[in-house]
Structure 1
Amino acid sequence: MREQRQRLQVLSAGIFSLVLVLGVARFAYTPLLPVMQQQAGLGVAEAGWLAAINYAGYLSGALIASLISDLVLKDKLYRIGLVVAIVCTAIMGMTTDVTIWAVSRYFAGLASAAGMLLGTGLILNWLIRHNHRSELGIHFAGIGIGIAGCAAVAALMNSWLDWREQWFVFTAIGCVLLVPALRWLPAPDTSGVTKSGQVLEDKPPSPLFLRLFMASYFCAGFGFVVSATFIVAIINHLPGLSGQGNLVFLAIGIGAIPACFNWDLIARRTGDLNALILAAVLQIVGILMPVLFGGLLASLFGALLFGGTFVGMVSLVLTMAGRYYPTKPAKMMGKMTLSYGVAQIIGPAITGWLATQLGSYNAGLYVAAGVMLVGTALLLLLKLVEKRDLASTARLQAV
């Protein structure tokens, strides 16, 4: 009973940390983007660049995570990152200087990586060491809760607070989230065995598998970032949907909350790669629904599909990375996220440029869906490589 209570506390610490670093520090920018454009003079191109700089910070954090093996150092950086997330959120409401905004968004990206990668790695390591199922579905519910919560809070504040005050409210929410996120995650165990005495052993994939896996995850990152960054502005510019952007963003968050748990169950039945392929196909549909069919109903359905798949893909990929490297899960998680992060720098910049040139964000969605299609093809190829690697391993064991 005590062990189960501790497991729930650890998972809850992860949920609160993700709501803080992703919901507050990272994705609050999306529902606040229109009001910042109206009240703070933020231009379309500058909005895209701020998003790209945020993802550059996330990429930098992923690079750092991929280079660190020391669990104690990871734990320290995770805790520092949560505090930085709050500071960066407060700074966004203190100025209209785009340069300061850019610095704030960069460090918010670093903080996001600390919570997402270092925190997730620490939690997966704890689960494995305590002989719990190595699945992160419950933990990653924090992403959906963060997105839905930010959308709901922004919608409530929009009519009675200005853009500065809304950033300060998010800062206060972050301070509340910080307490359980720090207190409920125990210091890491640095021994090389689980609580039952089983030796932890890394089983890395083949170099070809890893390269294809990273390439497919790059495509997933591109497909994710365009909708995640611009969906509120996209919906608000569609015929008859002015002012409905926050509602659609809320639907993304609602779709994401149970997604990881659902995809854990699907992966148990179909295998991880088959689950990833299915999620990728459904995500393409979700991305294109608003521009292909128009109307609020299609946009909401597309948002639920999008939210229900992108978080599932992240959860499945990072869980797979942790299983390959149980002694240092954040190391491969960081490498995978480098691919995801590069796409998240390129995607907003391209979309912002296309919107400036064409007067519409729609082209960005079509490009995102096309890149996702390439990623799906890479996942299908990855199944063949996995089969080849398993056969090769079996032959070596038989000798």
Structure 2
Amino acid sequence: MIMLNNLSKSRVYLAGICSLIVTVGVARFSYTPLLPIMQAETGLTDAGGGWLATANYMGYMLGVLTAASMNSLHHKYLLHQLYLILSVITSIAMVFTTDIYLWSFFRLVAGICASGGMIIASGLILKWLVMNKYRGELGVHFAGIGISIIFTALIVEGLLMLSADWEQQWLFFAGVAAVFAVPAWLWIPHPKADANGQAQVIKDNPPSKTFSRIMLLAYFCAGYGYVVSATFIVDIVEGFAALEGKGPLAFVVIGLGAMPAVIFWDRVARKVGYLKALIGTYGLQIFGIMVPAFSDSLVFVLLSALIFGGTFVACVSLVLTMAGQFYPSNPAKFMGKMTLAYGTAQILAPVCTGYLAEALGDYSLGLYISAAVMVVGLVLILCLVMLEKRELSQLSEAAMESNELEAPKPS
């Protein structure tokens, strides 16, 4: 049933947040706090954990490719509803086996739900906001990622206090997903029309090919920088003898940093522009990634988690909002291309990091590599700032020349 009637900005944002809790929180982030528990109770190795993460990101890529290749917004809307259902089913399916290949398949499907659900919901929401004359900003929507992180970490900790095993944890997550899927199903706006039922034509503002390519490379770097910390943060913290048992706390702090930060960075972008805001998020994220490689102090590790949470979601929100504003008529299409770059880095990174951790006994080298890739991304963002200035200058000069040619000659 298409719920076009009685949609409001608050309901649409709530639907987006609920969609992220289901498709990103349960289908993606629940694995991070559950990884140490599954390793302890099922014998899953570091390398095996890396392979499951990679399978999830391969699914992430497939979800992105699907979203980027589909032109029909109606079909995307229906696909989003399918992803809500599959997010529940794949969580239930995890408890019926301990076979690494079946687990990999379920994580693959969950990855499809995570990226596809996020991109499609974000695109539909942005389109609805623009058509209804609201600001085309997704910070409130992407606060759902921070909420998802907090939810998953607190659920795991709460269930551990009740002596729940890994199977009961997955089943509980499936129940949570089913509950939050309801408002997401009802209030994600259908692309058919605006709130008054009147179809509108929206003009796109595509960037230059050079700008798009550099932006894709920069977002690739952000994907690499994100995935190592996001996937292994709990395991990294638990690896310090002085911090044993504090891993889930670090995951909660990431969520606490992410939830308000996306709204804050929206405000920053309004004042200084999206690219300059991204310079800030990239720089701070590099610092946040590196801290656990140099210190096992609880204060510094939690500071790292707070900074990381406050920047990686902001990177996603800012970049996807930019992408959607370039192509407001069909935001999810270019969002999909950007997320494809983000996801490409996430296929190799978990496996490489897992093997390095197994071989060296810790995640330090993986963190160094992750930070180095982010530095490259920061340089690329700086290049985009200079390119944007040059392109704007060229447009201004062209406009002046056009005005001079059109001006009447004095008699």
- Interval of TM-score (by shorter of Structure 1 and Structure 2): over 0.9
TM-score normalised by structure 1 residue count: 0.96
Counterpart in the other structure of 2:245: 243
1:131, 1:194 within 8 Å by CA — same for their partners in 2? no
What is the deviation of 1:396? 3.6
- Cα offset, 1:40, TM superposition: 1.0
> SS where residue 134 of structure 2 aligns?
coil
Look up the match of 1:328. Answer: 330
- Residues 119 and 198 from structure 1, CA distance in 2 versus in 1: closer, same or farther, beyond 3 angstroms? closer
Where do 4+ consecutive residues of structure 1 move more than 3 Å? Answer: 193-199, 395-398
**Residue 133 of structure 1: CA displacement?**
0.4
Q: 1:166 aligns with which of 163, 169, 173?
A: 169
Deviates more, 1:257-266 or 1:181-190: 181-190
Distance in structure 1 (CA, Å) of the matches to 2:75 and 2:200: 24
Corresponding residue to 1:126 among 125, 128, 138: 128
Give distance in 1, aligned partners of 2:192 and 2:10: 18
Cα distance between partner residues in 2 of 1:370 and 1:50:
25
Residue of structure 2 equivalent to 1:356: 358
Structure 1 stretch 171-180 or stretch 63-72: which is displaced more?
63-72
| Per-residue deviation, residues 160-205 of structure 1 (Å, max 9, x unmatched) | 10011100010111110111110112322258x9989974111110
Question: Partner residue of 2:59?
Answer: 57
**Aligned pairs for 1:117-266 within 5 A:** 117-159=119-161, 160-189=163-192, 199-266=201-268
Aligned mate of 1:299, from 295, 298, 301: 301
Q: Hey, what's the Cα distance between the residues in 2 that align with 1:217 and 1:200?
A: 26
Alignment of structure 1 residues 25-104 onto 2, 5 Å: 25-104=27-106
Other-structure match for 1:111: 113
TM-score calculated relative to the size of structure 2: 0.93
SS of residue paired to 1:25: helix
1:391 deviates by: 2.1
Query: How far apart, in 2, do the equivalents of 1:184 and 1:197 lie?
Result: 18
Rg (Cα) greater in structure: 2
Q: What residue identity is the alignment partner of 2:60? A: Y
Partner-residue secondary structure (3-state), 1:133 = coil
Q: Aligned AA for 1:389?
A: E
Aligned to 2:395: 393
> For residue 252 of structure 1, what is the amino acid of its counterpart?
I
**Match of residue 409 from structure 2:** none
Q: Gaps spanning 5+ residues in structure 2: where?
A: 403-411
Query: Is contact 2:67–2:332 with CA below 8 Å preserved after alignment?
Result: yes
Displacement after TM superposition at 1:293 (Å): 2.4
RMSD: 1.8
Matched-pair contact (CA < 8 Å) for 2:124–2:189 = no
Greater mean alpha carbon deviation, residues 317-326 or residues 89-98: 89-98
- Of residues 22-31 and 290-299 in structure 1, the stretch that sits farther from structure 2 once superposed is 290-299
- The reply to whether residue 282 of structure 1 matches residue 295 of structure 2 is no
Give the residue type in structure 2 aligned to 1:360.
D
Distance 2:114 2:24 in 1: 6
Q: Could you say which residue in structure 1 is the equivalent of 2:375? A: 373
**1:82–1:114 Cα contact (<8 Å) kept:** no
Find the residue that maps to 1:258 and give its secondary structure. Answer: helix
- Distance in 2 separating the partners of 1:194 and 1:383: 39
Question: Secondary structure, in 3 states, of the residue corresponding to 2:29?
Answer: coil
Number of the residue aligned with 1:344: 346
- Cα distance, 1:92 vs. partner? 1.3
What is the rounded CA distance, in whole Å, between the counterparts of 2:39 and 2:193 in structure 1?
48
**What SS does the corresponding residue of 1:294 show, helix, strand or coil?**
coil
2 CA distance for matches of 1:182 and 1:205? 33
CA shift digits 1:195-253 (9 cap, x unpaired):
89974111110011001000000000000000000000000001301111000011001
Q: 1 CA distance for matches of 2:343 and 2:232?
A: 17
Moved more, 234-243 or 306-315: 234-243
Q: Distance in 1 between matches of 2:81 and 2:335?
A: 18
Task: Give how far 1:294 is off.
Answer: 1.9
Q: How many residues align?
A: 397
| Amino acid in structure 1 at the alignment position of 2:331 | P
Structure 1: which 5+ runs fail to align?
A: none
1:394: Cα distance to partner?
A: 2.7
Superposition deviation, residue 311 in structure 1: 0.4
| Amino acid of the structure 1 residue aligned with 2:97 | T
SS at match of 1:134: coil
CA positional deviation for 1:392: 2.5
Given that 2:193 and 2:200 are in contact with CA atoms closer than 8 Å, whether structure 1 keeps it comes out as no
Cα distance, 1:79–1:5 mapped onto 2, change above 3 Å: closer
Q: Is the 8 A contact 1:71 1:188 kept in 2?
A: yes
* TM-superposition CA deviations, 1:254-279 (whole Å, max 9, x none): 11111110100011111100000000
Letter in 2 for 1:174: A
How far, CA to CA, are the matches of 1:323 and 1:4 in structure 2? 25
Identity among equivalent pairs (%) = 47
